[in-house]
Amino acid sequence: MGDAITEPIIDPDIRICDAHHHLFDFPEQTYLLADYLNDSASGHRIVSTVFVDSTAFYRATGPAKLRVIGETEFANGVAAMAANGRYGTARVCASIVGHADLTLGAAVDEVLEAHMAAGGARFRGIRHISAYDPDPAVPRSHTLPGPGLLSRADFREGFGRLAAHELVFDAWLYHPQIPDITALARAFPTQPIVLDHLGGPLRVGPYEGRIGETFAVWRDSLGELARCQNVSVKIGGFGMPFLGPEFPQPGATYEDFAAAWRPWVETCIEVFSPARCMFESNFPIDKPSVSYRTLWNAFKWVTRSLSAEERTRLFHGTAAEIYRIEDQVP
C-alpha cells in the first residue's frame, strides 16, 4: 500500500467527485460513513460522491423484489447526515445507484418507483451486475447472472424502463463481455450507460500470465464501445486482485502506481475523451491494495500533462453531469 502518512498531496485544489464507492456492515467487514470520512480526509478535495449498491441493508421482510430498497433508504440517510455539514463539506452519497432485478421486465417499474421514493432527488441509477466468466477461478458476482444476461429479452424489457424514470445504468462486467454491453448500448442509443471499473480486464484463471493479450483485446473492445455516445467509463478498480496490472511492490509510491496504471488510464481517456471518463476510488474494495491518498495522487500524476479543463472533467465534471449532482461546495 502507498504511504498515506508521508506522501504529499498533489494538486490539493482539484475538486473531486468520487464516482464510485460503497458503505456496508457485513459480519466480515464494516465500512460506514465514519470510515469513508477518515479515508477521504487524507487531504484531497472531495466535494461529492456517488454511492453504489453492495447488497447491504436490504430489508429483512416484505416482497423479495422490494427488499433492495432498504439500501437506498440507508444511503439517503447517510447523505442527509453528510449534507448537514457537521461531518465536513463533502457531500457523501450525493447520488445513489441501487440494484433492481431488470429481468422482472416491465414489472420492475414498481421497484424503480420505490427506489426513487426512498432516495428522493439523490436516486440516480441502477446497477444489475452481469459480470460472468465460465472459469471457476474468476470471481462470481452476488447476482449470479450467468452467461448472456444483457441479451435476454426479459432483461432488456426491464432495461428499457430506465429511460422513463431518467435513470442511469451502471454496467459491471468482465472484459470478454464488453461486446455484450456494446450491443445493448446500440439497441438503446439514448439510455445513459456507465461502464464500471474499466470494463473488468481480467488477470486470473485462463487470463493469468496473459496481461499483454488481455490488454489488446480490452483496448479493441473498448474502442468499439466508445463509438456509442451514450456510454461513459469509470476509471478505477485497480485494487481488485483479479483485474488489470500487477500491484506495485509493498512500499510503492504514487509514481509506482501511476506507472502501472498509466496504459489503462490513458487508453480510456484516449478512446472515450475526458468528457466521458470519470475517476473512482472503489473504496473500501481497493483499500487493501492502495491508500486513498495514494490512489488519487496516482490519478493526478498520470493526468498531469492534460489541460485544466480536461482534468476538471475527469475528476469532477463528468461524474457530476452523468449523476446530476449540483455541488453546494465553493
In tens, the pLDDT along 118-145 reads: 999 999 999 999 999 999 999 988 888 9
Angle, in degrees to the nearest 10, between helices 69-83 and 109-119: 20
Backbone phi, then psi, for 203, in 5-degree steps? -140, 25
What is the model's pLDDT at position 6? 75
**Greater pLDDT, 110 or 5:** 110
pLDDT band of 329, cuts 50, 70, 90: very low
Domain ranges within the chain, ordered by starting residue: 15-322
Task: Write the burial class of residue 167 (CB in 10 Å: 0-12 exposed, 13-18 middle, 19+ buried).
Answer: buried
* Partners of 170 in the β-ladder: 127, 194
Whether the ω angle into residue 284 lies within 30 degrees of 0, i.e. cis, is yes
What is the model's pLDDT at position 249? 79
Residue 59 has pLDDT above 80, yes or no: yes
- 97: closest CA among 116, 117, 78? 116
Following CA atoms 268, 272, 276, 277 in sequence, which dihedral angle do they give, to the nearest 10 degrees?
10
The CA-to-CA distance between both ends of the chain, in Å, stands at 32
**Which CATH number is correct for 15-322, 1.10.3720.10, 3.40.50.10490, 3.20.20.140, 3.30.200.20?**
3.20.20.140
The whole-angstrom separation of Cα 210 and Cα 205 is 10
